Amino acid sequence: MTDLATLANLAEIFGTLTILGGFIFAILQIREFRAQRRQAVSVELLRSFQGPDFGHAVNLVRELPDAISAEELRAKGAEHERAAILITTTFETVGLVAFREMASFELVRELMGGIALVMWRKLEAWQWTVRDEQMQPSWGEWFQWLCEQLERDSHEAESLPAYERFASWKPRK
């Protein structure tokens, strides 16, 4: 009888350990899935900056004066306003992705923080006009949020460019 009780206790312990092991495995799998998802989002962010349309839009907006008014921007032609819209919608996505932590804020800052701040500096006045005209206060909201976070973070983060901050970096062998 004691042999049967011992076997029952061992089976119960083994069952508990199996359940615990399965639970730990599930947690590890969820973490791995989240890491893979973040990596996939990072790759997509990178792709969004490699397209010729975005590059052309940045080039057009980069040449504009800071805080250009909607009137001045529109006087440059429809292509310039389309460029402003493409930049806004791209950084809207980036801002939301950073906020939802689908990509780390550090990655977003390193990959596109500088260009986002330059684009916001150029387009902020136009953004406010579009919001008013469309009666849409959420127009460009994540673009604005992203740039406000980048501005705040730039005071806390190292201000040196990557080629200086990481000059002594060596790849792993």
Domain extents in the chain: 1-36, 49-163
Give, for all 173 residues of the chain, the pLDDT tens digit.
568 888 888 888 988 989 988 889 888 898 888 878 777 777 776 676 778 999 999 999 999 999 999 999 999 999 999 999 999 999 999 999 899 888 889 888 988 899 999 999 999 999 999 999 999 999 999 999 999 999 987 765 556 788 888 889 898 88
Reported as a single tens digit per residue, the pLDDT across 87-127 is 999 999 999 989 988 888 988 898 889 999 999 999 999 99
Full-model pTM: 0.75
Q: Are 101 and 145 in contact (CB under 8 A)?
A: no
- How far apart (Å, rounded) are the C-alpha atoms in residues 120 and 106? 19
Q: Of the candidates 58, 55, 52, 50, which has an alpha carbon nearest to the alpha carbon of residue 117? A: 58
